[in-house]
Copies of this chain bind each other. A is one copy, B any other.
Amino acid sequence: MYKFYYAPGTCALASHIALEEAGAAYQAERLDFKSNQQNSPDYLAINPKGRVPALVTDKGVLTETPAILAFIAQTFPQAGLAPFDDAFRLAEVQAFNSYLCSTVHVAHAHKLRGYRWATEEASFADMKRMVPKTMGNNFALIERGMIKGPWVMGETYTICDPYLFTIGTWLEGDGVDVSALPKVMAHRSRMLERPAVRKVVEQEK
């Protein structure tokens, strides 16, 4: 039985959905970001980075969304969530997820977490103003060239799908005009038809 640490509204949703899709036995533990629980001594003993998600397994703790997603896919092969038997296709999956974590999520983080990279209020405001443009540009690239359809990697649902869905839920709040992103929006609707997605979205409310 895994223990899975998450907070609502964070990228942890992606791994949460993947656990559910895989049929994994897990206990979801919600952290309260408002009371800064992610930086409590108890949680820092689990994840010294003070972030979510964290997946506690019998072998140790795993962090970082792309790593947790790939771990779930490899551990539950019957769910078919990643093509571990094909190095090139697996690398495409990983490249997509790596883009989401290192570029898209980072662009979004400049809206409310500018203090990670600067100290002045004026800088925070400057960063915040740019988020609609950076998130818009990143998602334009995804829309134009990265969604094969109907799922990100084509006919097969993979660990790219819950991750895209998760980061996509931030678009409207980030001031991006989603009417320019028909494929991304169709993907969102398709995701919301899946029982595992509905269950986890409901649970995280």
Q: Is the CB of A62 within 8 A of B91?
A: yes
For chain A, the count of residues having a C-beta within 8 Å of the partner chain is: 48
Is A167 part of the contact surface with B, judged by Cβ < 8 Å? no
The one of B49, B68, B127, B141 that contacts A49, using a Cβ cutoff of 8 Å: B141
Per-residue CB proximity of A109-120 to B under 8 Å, as 1/0? Answer: 010000011111
Q: Is the CB of A68 within 8 A of B91?
A: yes
Is A92 part of the contact surface with B, judged by Cβ < 8 Å? yes
Expressed in whole angstroms, the Cα–Cα distance for A99 and B62 within the complex equals: 12
Expressed in whole angstroms, the Cα–Cα distance for A149 and B60 within the complex equals: 18
Shortest Cβ gap from A87 to chain B (Å): 4
The one of B59, B63, B88, B118 that contacts A127, using a Cβ cutoff of 8 Å: B118
Most buried by B among A60, A68, A94: A94
Q: Is the CB of A102 within 8 A of B64?
A: yes
Is A130 part of the contact surface with B, judged by Cβ < 8 Å? yes
CB-based nearest B residue for A138: B49
Name the B residues within 8 Å of A71 (CB-CB). 87-88, 90-91, 94
Within 8 A of B (CB), among A80-103: 84, 87-88, 90-92, 94-95, 98-99, 101-103
Is A153 part of the contact surface with B, judged by Cβ < 8 Å? no
Q: Is the CB of B107 within 8 A of A105?
A: no
Name the B residues within 8 Å of A110 (CB-CB). 117-118
- Starting from the known contacts A57-B88, A64-B94, A119-B129, 6 additional A-B residue pairs (CB-CB under 8 Å) come to A64-B102, A65-B98, A68-B91, A71-B91, A110-B118, A122-B126
